Amino acid sequence: AQHVTKWTNAMLGVPPEHVLNLIGAAGQLQPAADRFANGFNNPADFENFFYEPEKTNAYLASLTGA
């Protein structure tokens, strides 16, 4: 339940810039959209790319080659 609770709490607040960047990228990059959507079934995966700006930026860079 810890992952669901953390995810829920994160979504109740104002999203930080890195989350807005991720959601914006998901509108252009299907793998980002798929991973974000799949997090609803496996919220533990958000630990790998969502909560920390460094992980989000690294994930997006891996998709764009930047």
| pTM of structure | 0.89
Per residue in 24-52, pLDDT tens?
A: 999 999 999 999 999 999 999 999 999 99
To the nearest whole number, what is the mean pLDDT of the chain?
A: 96
Where along the chain do its domains lie? 2-64
pLDDT of residue 61: 97
Residue recorded with tokens 């997006």: 60
pLDDT for 1 beyond 90: no
Q: CA 24, CA 2: separation in Å to the nearest integer?
A: 26
Residue 27 phi/psi, 5° resolution?
-70, -15
